[in-house]
Amino acid sequence: AIRTEIDNALKIHENVQNLRGNESQNERQQIESNPDSHFEKATAEFIDQRVNEITSAPTEPTVSLDMVLRSCPEITAYAVSSIRHWQDLANTAEKVRSFLGIDGKLYDLAKKVLGPYNASIVIAYILQRFEQIQSAGGYLRILTEKAANGSFSIRPMLMAALNGQVR
């Protein structure tokens, strides 16, 4: 049921993107500057419905904090002080989330599905790969969907980030 709802929200997003590509420049600018577009409303409604339905998420991170900081060192530049504990990462990720333009409700959903610390890890990863990721919110939404379906794991994502730094 969750997968169907997420698929529907993503299809709505694709339709909005297709419309944007076909409209004149003025209309495109008007839609793009409108924060209450159809996609955002559909996403907000979807999130409101799902946040209360999800009841279990891992409370402990699935990797070490050291591994996160080695894989995604950019997050440390946004910390108030050094990141020594999971809560430091969570606090920093909350701040970075807003810089990345990720909606608070979407992040709340990610925390419910992934767990608060694993969601923080995903934010650190998105920040690390920001230049390669076209839509931080869309990326988080997709990873949250995969996690809800049991097809997402933090460790391989971080290993890929570590391997990417070596090259």
Task: Give pLDDT, residue 61.
Answer: 84
Contact 62, 122 (CB under 8 A): no
Would the pLDDT of 101 be above 80?
Answer: yes
- Give the type of residue at 148: A
Task: Give pLDDT, residue 20.
Answer: 41
Give the separation between CA 114 and CA 144, rounded to whole angstroms: 7
Cα separation values, 25 from 16, 55, 78, 105, Å? 15, 44, 36, 30
Task: Give pLDDT, residue 163.
Answer: 85
pLDDT digits (tens, 9 = 90+) for 61-71: 889 999 999 99
> What is the pTM assigned to this prediction?
0.69
Would the pLDDT of 45 be above 50?
Answer: yes
Task: Give pLDDT, residue 166.
Answer: 45
Name the residue among 79, 86, 81 with its Cα closest to residue 65. 86
Give the separation between CA 167 and CA 164, rounded to whole angstroms: 6
pLDDT digits (tens, 9 = 90+) for 6-33: 555 555 555 544 444 444 333 334 334 4
The size of the chain, in residues, is: 167
pLDDT digits (tens, 9 = 90+) for 116-150: 999 999 999 999 999 999 999 999 999 999 998 88
Give the separation between CA 149 and CA 70, rounded to whole angstroms: 28
Domain ranges of the chain: 1-53, 57-167
Contact 149, 60 (CB under 8 A): no
Please measure the distance between the N-terminal and C-terminal CA atoms of the chain and give it in whole angstroms.
40
Share of the chain above pLDDT 90, in %: 56
Average pLDDT, the chain: 78
Question: Torsions phi, psi of 154, nearest 5?
Answer: -65, -45
